[in-house]
Chains A and B, each alone.
Chain A
Amino acid sequence: MEKRKFGFVMSMVLAAGTILGACGGGAEEEATDNGGSGEETDKFTVAMVTDVGGVDDKSFNQSAWEGLQAFGEENGLKKGTDGYDYIQSKSDADYKTNLNTAVRNEFDLTYGIGYKLKPAIEEVAKQRTESQFAIVDDVVEGLDNVTSITFKEHEGSFLVGVVAGLQTKSNKIGFIGGIESDLINKFAGGFEAGVKAVNPDADVTIEFAGAFDKADKGQQMASAMYSSGIDIIYHAAGGTGNGVFAEAKSLKETAPEKEVWVIGVDRDQSEEGKVTVNGEEMNVTLTSMVKRVDLAVQDVATKAMNDEFPGGEVIEYGLEAEGVSIAPTQDNLSEESIAAVEEWTTKIKNGEVEVPTVPGKN
């Protein structure tokens, strides 16, 4: 009897909570609606909708948010609905809702960060033709109010390939990708071309883990690669790449004289490579290929503010616009490779070299 009573009370509380919760949501929505249409501001406002990573994911979303903050600071905007703001998505189901919220709050430009938002942006942009959108890292075609921001990952990967080609001791280099796709192939293709450009004898092994979140698999793959004599691995595999770092650090710790290196991706991953061997600080991160989402976001926002919104276009940020680059941490690079990186950067910018976007057949 006691238990039944307890259960009844519990369900009543839950039901009440649901009803009250619904009320709260409705009222809030109405308020923002009125607020939005009530006042017209001539200030340029911009918002971004994150994917499930959140604005502090040390990756894409964070970088984009840093770009927006820099943009806001530059133009004297405040964080909030009359300046710049972000809306965090807790699950894949939130994207559409969050994009609509941004539109209702009359943001002039709304970013969707990451390829996961593509379907949501497509749908919302079709309905809200008067609003401007931009998607990072994917392409939305046939809509005049959407700009697609992509990166020439192959160019950045080419540069780290040059470093790998020059600094390998065994002439064996590995690449571990997340899931085989056009995007990841750009990393692999550019990297391979970069290695071959400076060291035609080097052998590049390209493998895919089939997942971005399987650190154990990355660890096993790295273990296999390092024992086959490969001394440098470039990973483009997100969380799977953690396993590559784990394996490299483990090897370094047991045999400090052994040559094991990891090349990081998307941001400067020198922090991940830190390892202390017998009281001595070492780092297994050779260098990293950095994607400057922040610069791209800032650039598009500036264009939109000056009424030059590149709607319907696909903008590719490469070495030219510093959209991709080699990480600022260069402790492990030789003089020779730093010079070579500069040389090849110029060549790519001048168009002397065409960097392939798919790996060649071995």
Chain B
Amino acid sequence: MDTLTIIALIVSSSLFAATPLIFTALGGVFSEKSGVVNIGLEGLMIIGAFTAIVFNLTFDTTFGSATPWVALLAAMLAGGLLSLLHGVASIAFRADQVVSGVAINFLALGLSLFLVKLIYDKGQTDMIDSRFIKKDIPILSDIPVIGDIFFSGIATPTIWAFIIAFVSWFVLYKTPFGLRLRSVGEHPMAADTMGVNVAKTRYIAVFISGLLGGLGGAVYAQSISLDFSHATITGQGFMALAAMIFGKWHPLGAMGAAIFFGFAQSLSIVGSSIPFLDSIPAVYLLIAPYVLTILALAGFIGRADAPKASGTPYIKGNR
């Protein structure tokens, strides 16, 4: 393989693998910025993946090639609804948010596998026919060098991930709603005194995180695994959580971190065919993503401060 092919391959496969993580990590950012820890991202991804696959299999003949997109909407809705459960437990009933998040993870996995069994009478679904594929972007991919590297072999959801990351940044940092959301996460009492409805804001934030988490799972299922089983989502939600922390609870940071994870993994795979890296024993390449992550977390990004009120329920009138 020549250098250009290798670079193009690394970029395209990093972005492809990072896409679901970007969506889910953005979901985490919304929730945590408002002060609700969301360990349930994994569960939201599972329910998103499940809904998307079932929807896709059921309505494939109705919607044709638009099926994956409509399935995304269904998955978002399912993720949003499940996240409201987490919202009710942690906002209204002031339950421990970590415990409630873990419960979401258990519930999502158990429920979805149970339903798969009930609907299809087997342990995993069939593979879907309509799915997201990697394509060359017209016009842009014709630009020499840059076109080959950045605009060839890109799946459409990847472009959406970038757009949504920027929209999230805009919403969180440039709109009144975003300011309220962040203030609720930093100092809910101050926000409350200023007339911000803390509970309502947090519900909205958690709901958005459910939408994005479900979206992440659905994108993963419809572009990578293509079916749903117990092994479809295994830890991607937690990687998204790590990407969010790595990205310092900032939408663009989270996106960068997710791409970094994808990059590290694809480097470890492609590494064996890069002239300089091929003399390194395979085991070092396999652990490279994790080592790079630890190094990056420990050395380069400095202190990562969570929103101050993250994880603490707001009780009116308490000091």
Interface residues of A (CB under 8 A from B): 3, 52-54, 56-58, 62, 207-208, 210, 212-217, 219-221, 223-224, 227-229, 238-239, 242-243, 245-246, 249-250, 253-254, 271-272, 274-276
A243: chain B residues at CB < 8 Å are 224-225
A254 in complex: contacting residue of B5, B135, B229, B270, CB < 8 Å: B135
Contact B269 A221 (CB under 8 A): yes
Q: CA of A218 to CA of B57 in the docked complex: distance in angstroms?
A: 23
Q: Could you pull out 27 A-B pairs where Cβ atoms are within 8 angstroms?
A: A3-B93, A56-B117, A57-B122, A57-B123, A57-B124, A58-B122, A58-B123, A208-B282, A212-B231, A213-B231, A215-B226, A216-B225, A217-B269, A220-B16, A224-B269, A224-B270, A227-B1, A227-B9, A228-B1, A239-B231, A242-B226, A242-B227, A246-B224, A249-B133, A249-B226, A271-B126, A271-B127
Interface residues of B (CB under 8 A from A): 1, 5, 9, 12-13, 16-17, 93, 117, 121-124, 126-127, 129, 131, 133-136, 220, 223-227, 229-232, 234, 236, 265-266, 269-270, 272-273, 282, 286
Minimum distance in angstroms from A241 CB to a CB of chain B? 10
Considering only CB atoms, which chain A residue lies closest to B19 in the complex?
Answer: A216
Considering only CB atoms, which chain A residue lies closest to B124 in the complex?
Answer: A58
Contact B122 A219 (CB under 8 A): no
B224: chain A residues at CB < 8 Å are 215-216, 219, 242-243, 246
Contact A246 B131 (CB under 8 A): yes
Contact A219 B17 (CB under 8 A): yes
Contact A272 B273 (CB under 8 A): no
6 cross-chain pairs, A with B, having the tightest CB-CB distances, nearest first: A213-B231, A56-B122, A239-B231, A215-B225, A250-B133, A57-B123
Contact A224 B229 (CB under 8 A): no
Q: CA of A217 to CA of B286 in the docked complex: distance in angstroms?
A: 11
Contact B286 A210 (CB under 8 A): yes
Contact A246 B1 (CB under 8 A): no
Considering only CB atoms, which chain B residue lies closest to A53 in the complex?
Answer: B123
Q: CA of A253 to CA of B129 in the docked complex: distance in angstroms?
A: 11
Contact B123 A56 (CB under 8 A): yes
Q: CA of A59 to CA of B208 in the docked complex: distance in angstroms?
A: 38
Q: CA of A239 to CA of B233 in the docked complex: distance in angstroms?
A: 11
Minimum distance in angstroms from B148 CB to a CB of chain A? 12
Q: CA of A102 to CA of B226 in the docked complex: distance in angstroms?
A: 37
Q: CA of A52 to CA of B117 in the docked complex: distance in angstroms?
A: 13
A220: chain B residues at CB < 8 Å are 13, 16-17, 265-266, 269
